[in-house]
Amino acid sequence: MAKSAQSGRGVDAATALYERSGAAAYGMSAEQFANVLDEIVRKYFNLAPNRAPSSISDSAHVSAEQKADFCAALRLEELALARACALGNERAWQDFISRYRQKLHSMALHITRDGAHAAELADSLFADLYGVNARDGVRSSKLVSYTGRGSLEGWLRTVMAQEFINRYRKQKRTVSLEEQTEEGVQFAAATPEPACTSDGLSGRRLEAAIDEALAELSAEDRFTLASYYLDGRTLAEIARMLRLHESSVSRRLDRLATGLRKRILAGLRAQGMSHAQATEALETDVRDMELNLRSRLTQDSGAATFPGSRKVPAQNAGDGSNDQQKP
């Protein structure tokens, strides 16, 4: 009895979600839409045989309430639109085009900062979304992979950014020697070796102390450090990524730098180094860093990895082993 009441509530909830999504107007049946939701739930709750890379829970036991809450939080209307487009519904495509066609070009321009490349990128993505490329004779639209976790517009921006990075890599791999000469790549210094990493026992101790100090940081702190020090992102960019104020990011970075230094020194002392030795190791490294930064800045002028980035090209350019996965 209780079970039937529960299933009745489940049907009601599914109907409500279906109505909220407006999928009927795109010719999607309630069953089709329920299947889409089920597929998404399976993906994010790790219920499918092939587990998603990052999911809500590793537990296979997910309550109906959890699923209902999860589904209710999805962008149902945009999900219905995307999936109906993927199914080839003409009306859905009309809606999609009227909503996003122009925005795709704006997004591409924002990402590439170049009109010609922007048009190419936007058209290419649009073709992928439309499903020009057939797989096994079946037209496959990229919109199938949209799950409604974020806005459709945000998802389009993310997919476009991934595509841009992949293209950039491919382009970098195929750049001619003449172009490399023009860019001055042949004069670029080799990627500097990590300093103080293998200088005998003290180097290993230093590495261990740093790794330990970094491991103690939260994921968000490590993300902040990597964005600022490795990627060269501005405070404003990091703030927007984390939805914080710039001053908060600035304070956090100061706190992290100071805290890291203290922890590393403490770690080194715990490993038997004197305070003077530990400080000397770090200070020596700071001097290395200053020289290194100067040389890197000289090499890096006008050759940022991506628009708005001050990352050193040698870190990723030309390295195709880590291409972004397409969704």
Partner 1 sequence: MTEVPKIVHDRLRAARPERALPEHPDANLLTAFAEQALSVTEREGVLAHLALCGDCRDVIALALPAADIVAAPMAAEGEAVRATAAPARAEINRLTARRFAWPSLRWAALAAGIAVVASVLLLRPGKLNQALPPSAKPQVATTAQPASGPQIASSAAASPPTDQSAVLAKTEEPQAKFALRPSKKIRAGQMVTPSHQAEHGTLLAENKAENKKDSGPAAMLSPAPTTGGRASAAPASPGATETVEVSSAAVAVEVAPSAEDSLMARNETPAIEKAKPAPPEMKVNEQQQTQAAFVVLTPAGSQGGNAMPTAKPAAPPSPTSARNITWTIAAGALQRSLDSGQSWQNALRADHPLLCYASHENDVWTGGQAGTLFHSADSGVTWVQVQPSIKGQQLSSDITHIDVRGPAEIAVFTNNHEIWRSADGGKTWDKK
Minimum distance, C-beta of residue 297 to partner 1, in the bound complex (Å): 14
- In the structure encoding, which two tokens stand for residue 268, read together? 């080194």
Residue closer to partner 1 (CB basis): 117 or 149:
149
Residue closer to partner 1 (CB basis): 53 or 137:
53
CA 141/CA 139 separation, integer angstroms: 7
Q: For 297-305, which contacts have Cβ atoms below 8 Å and span 24 or more sequence positions?
A: 299/188, 299/189, 303/183, 305/168
Tracing tokens 């004197």 back to the chain, one arrives at: 274
Residue closer to partner 1 (CB basis): 6 or 35:
35
Question: Is the C-alpha dihedral spanning 95, 99, 105, 111 positive or negative?
Answer: negative
- Could you say which DSSP state residue 325 is in? P
Residue closer to partner 1 (CB basis): 188 or 265:
265
Number of neighbouring beta carbons within 10 Å of residue 55: 15
Minimum distance, C-beta of residue 40 to partner 1, in the bound complex (Å): 9
Minimum distance, C-beta of residue 122 to partner 1, in the bound complex (Å): 14
Nearest to 260 by CA among 215, 304, 230: 215
Minimum distance, C-beta of residue 95 to partner 1, in the bound complex (Å): 6
Residue closer to partner 1 (CB basis): 182 or 220:
220
- Could you say which DSSP state residue 137 is in? T
Number of neighbouring beta carbons within 10 Å of residue 70: 17
CA 138/CA 86 separation, integer angstroms: 11
Minimum distance, C-beta of residue 295 to partner 1, in the bound complex (Å): 12
Q: For 297-300, which contacts have Cβ atoms below 8 Å and span 24 or more sequence positions?
A: 299/188, 299/189
Nearest to 84 by CA among 39, 139, 7, 29: 29
Minimum distance, C-beta of residue 308 to partner 1, in the bound complex (Å): 7
Minimum distance, C-beta of residue 89 to partner 1, in the bound complex (Å): 11
Residue closer to partner 1 (CB basis): 8 or 307:
307
Residue closer to partner 1 (CB basis): 8 or 308:
308
- In the structure encoding, which two tokens stand for residue 178, read together? 């003449």
